[in-house]
Amino acid sequence: MDIVTGVGVLDKSVALLRALADGPLALAELVAATGISRPTAHRLASALVDHGLARRTDDGRFALGADLVGLGHAATAGWPWG
């Protein structure tokens, strides 16, 4: 996990989201991909689910959430393209 801002909870949450960009992951896979401790990864991933930024798949893995689509659209709507 890269420390970017020094705000641990934010850096860890972003690391989880970036790990999920490659596809759904089980908790153990999230821990391996990020180096975040299992309890912290579970707590943060569950909070991301509560906020719609992540979701649980039918087999219990974590995946990116649908609310990220709306945020992406909002971000690009005001972007000075070209």
Does the pLDDT of residue 82 top 70, yes or no? no
Q: At what angle do helices 8-20 and 38-50 cross, to 10 degrees?
A: 80
Q: Write down the pLDDT at residue 79.
A: 81
Q: What confidence score (pLDDT) does residue 75 get? A: 86
Q: What's the chain's Rg over C-alpha atoms?
A: 13
Residues 34-56 have pLDDT tens digits of 999 999 999 999 999 999 999 99
pTM, 2 dp: 0.89
pLDDT at 16: 98
What Cα–Cα distance (Å) separates residue 79 from each residue in 15, 18, 74? Answer: 24, 22, 9
The predicted pLDDT at position 7 comes to 87
Beta bridge partners of 54: 64
Q: How far apart are CA 23 and CA 62, in angstroms?
A: 9
